[in-house]
Structure 1
Amino acid sequence: MKNELIQRTKQFALDCWQFCFKVPKSREYNAFVNQLIRSSSSVGANYRASQRAKSTADFINKLKIVEEEADESVYWLEIFEEILPTHSKEVLKLQKEGKELLAITVASINTAKRNQNRK
């Protein structure tokens, strides 16, 4: 599952980038594009970093960053859903993946916290 999530979070960043490439170029759109690219790529980078955590606390902290960045990505995708209805099918697919990654991350955090409390 670990390698699957590493690949899946990386693919999420790539898919968001592909979507952003199709967004019209303007000062207004570019601000949102930059935010989505930053947050979506941070999901994968921080998940990958979590796999090299030095302790359970470090692991949980890194996953909390993943949680925040995944949630932020979903937020920017919701904005794009409103301002680019012509791309709604692609945006909804990305939102679904972002929400799934968010749910997996939250479940992992909760499991790690339970295991930490048992020690």
Structure 2
Amino acid sequence: MTIQEAARRSGLSAHTLRYYERIGLIHSVDRNGSGHRDYDERDLEWLAFLTRLRSTGMSIADMCRYAQLLRAGAHTAEERRRMLERHREKVAARIAELTQDLSALDYKIKTYRETT
């Protein structure tokens, strides 16, 4: 599929896809006969995973490191797992903070409802 189609399906811009390729987050995408990028379903799955990592706060540098390790092969699986476990801990801590923030908001809303 074209870069425009991959952008539409992934929710990322064509500019972001080119940037991700340039910095090594995406492998060199295959090219079609006319030299245009030709994305496939595996590329979209990888983009979906990258989007999850980014939306949960993983830095671009850590995402690049993860992609580099993945391309290096199966012998890096342990390090990749550890990276994801550390990131998961950060996400869980952020969720706990947000839960406390939500409770504070709920309390304040309840107070206003009882007084108005």
Q: Please indicate, yes or no, whether the TM-score normalized by the shorter chain is above 0.5.
A: no
Q: TM-score, normalised by structure 2?
A: 0.36
Q: Which has the larger radius of gyration?
A: 2
Give the structure, 1 or 2, with the largest relative contact order (CA under 8 Å, sep 6 or more). 1
Q: TM-score, normalised by structure 1?
A: 0.36
Greater share of residues in helix: 1
